[in-house]
Amino acid sequence: MKGAFTGWFAKFAFGLAAFAASVSLGAADEILIDWNPVWVGARTQSWCSPVRFTIENKGKDDRGVLSLKNESFQASYPLELPAGSKRTFIAYPATSIYGGQTSATLESNQGRYSLKLELMAGGYGEQVVGVIAENPGSYTFLRRIGDSTFLEISDGYCKPSEAPERAIGYASLSALMLGTGAERLTTEAVEAIKLFAAAGGHVIFTGGAATAALNDTRWGDFLPIQNVTSHQRPVPDFFTERSEVTGSILSLAKGDVSANARVVAEGGDVLSAERLWGIGRVTFLAYSFTEQPLSRWDGRRDVLLEMLTGHKDNTEAVAQRLSGTQHLVLPGNAELGRSSTYYMGYSPYDDQESNPFQLKLPPVWQIALILAGFWLVVVPINFGVLSKLGRKELAWLTAPLISLGFAGIFFAYASKLYTATLSTSAAGAVVMQSGHPGALYMGTQQFFFPRPGEYDLDLEGVEIISPADEYRNYYDRRGDSSLTGYVMDNGEIEVPRMKTGSLSFKEAKMQQRLRPNWVLPSNLEVKKASRGVRVTGTIMNDSPNAIVSGSLIVGDALPIVAVRRLEPGETVDVNVLVVLNGDPPEYIDTVFEAVMPDLKVGASLGDAVAGRAISIVCGMGTYRVEAGS
């Protein structure tokens, strides 16, 4: 009987395994899933490594969920998969901090399909130059091949029709080249690229014979040139003096160049023009490295590297001003013109008693002292007094009363925490360009949940969200800070049902698109002065929130306080002397940095409490330094 049962069980187990295999194979046959990194060929250590998925359903109507997971990130992507459909979309997983793999699992009615995403990891300090063009491989000359150049550079390629529509999709790039076909970018991708530049990115438009992308009206004055046409001329000395050029005629784009743009010109032709945007840069090249004769020129790598590493003083000054916390690293690296740094705003209201994030539990020694006092009172003193009175039977009454008394002492330490309401507190920076709509918040948000339950974080415009830096364990002793399993991406990031316990603290880092109805318009002028430059003009606070501690950062000089407090609707007259090291340059960049304590960012739930605040980092622009009076 035992042998018969064993045989039956073996057949049952084999049949079950065969059934499971058939389900898996059926999914593999009827659901085809493929993936590629958005920036093909690039290696990166960025916070986010965007991935393009293509999922094809060759079977019946289906629906499912694609889950991405690594040590630092987990998110779900709901999918509708009609029969015969092919779905293509970009996922934005946070990169594993431990360098591990990211797993992708598709679960649908037809079965389960799993794969590992082998994303190419770059070395520390390695730079990535992204190229949006129809033909990949045109900038392989940037790679270091047996020379002594310090920079390690990899080039990544993306077709215009496949470009990311979120700014976080460009965060792994140190610079972005826009070439032939860039006019076919979606409007969402255009806006994302502008935000990438505002956050410290470097966007480079190439010219030459092709001018369609340069005349795309969606760029507006993001471009330092307008009304672009093309013409041919002999190769300028700018190129031939560096090394021999095989060919004598070069196609150049020309047009109306902004008055406040750094210009390199020769023989009446502008070869390049560059301007500040936010704390990033936008560069126009009149020529193209992919057209003859420069496509075969030996000096093209050196010219491009000089451009990528130049004019970074202003960004480094901003970084030094605002650095000091481990929240969210800006895209890029100082080697290519931007500093990797962390931004945090400081509020003037740090001591609010209603702020649960400022409350602290008693230290261990106090808890030990209370416990020792409890033991001393409830045992020796309590029983000693009752024995002396001859009423030991009252211990059944006195011991609980003493316990309640000491419990009240413990409660007194945490009473404010128990009475606190659902609260949030954000810290980070909003980067933007003066006079232009659109901004990007980069930072963190803390959450305090007084009662257990499920909560909708009510997010809008969030491009990525993940647990706060795993290396920081300050909040770990207060509760689970993880968002694991709650993040959904259905074209927009959502956290609709996050489960929490009682008195739970959580913290997330995020990047969020903002669409404020204010632009901080400015009208400034920079002139030479005896010890540097003098900046005059106006800055208007057209936001609904007060601005405090506003400073101008001019070039690489120390910040100069421009305004102590600016109420909504007010305009401040600026007249400050900026002391520079050395003679004033021909052009100089100017950034306005301030604190906006009442600005609401991140999740929209609970009471937003002070204690930390938001820095506004607003690019005022590049200015020609005029002669002084």
User: What token pair was written down for 472?
Assistant: 């920081």
Over 80: is that where the pLDDT of 553 sits? yes
The predicted-structure confidence for 450-479, as pLDDT tens digits, reads as follows 889 999 999 999 999 888 755 443 344 343
The predicted-structure confidence for 350-377, as pLDDT tens digits, reads as follows 444 556 766 666 677 777 887 888 778 7
Pairing mode, strands 269-277 and 262-266: antiparallel
Report pLDDT for 310. Answer: 67
- Asked whether 532 and 538 are in contact (CB, 8 A), the reply is no
Q: What is the CA radius of gyration of the chain?
A: 30
Report pLDDT for 6. Answer: 42
Over 80: is that where the pLDDT of 240 sits? yes
For the chain, percent of residues with pLDDT exceeding 90: 42
The alpha carbon of residue 473 and the mean position of all alpha carbons in its chain are separated, in whole angstroms, by: 21
The crossing angle, in degrees rounded to 10, of helices 395-419 and 382-389 is 150
What is the torsional sign of CA 13, 15, 17, 20?
negative
Over 70: is that where the pLDDT of 287 sits? yes
User: Which pLDDT band holds residue 430 (cuts at 50, 70, 90)?
Assistant: very high
Pairing mode, strands 102-108 and 62-70: antiparallel
Task: Tell me which residue has tokens 């994030």.
Answer: 357
Compute the mean pLDDT over every residue in the chain, rounded to the nearest whole number: 80
User: pTM of the prediction?
Assistant: 0.84
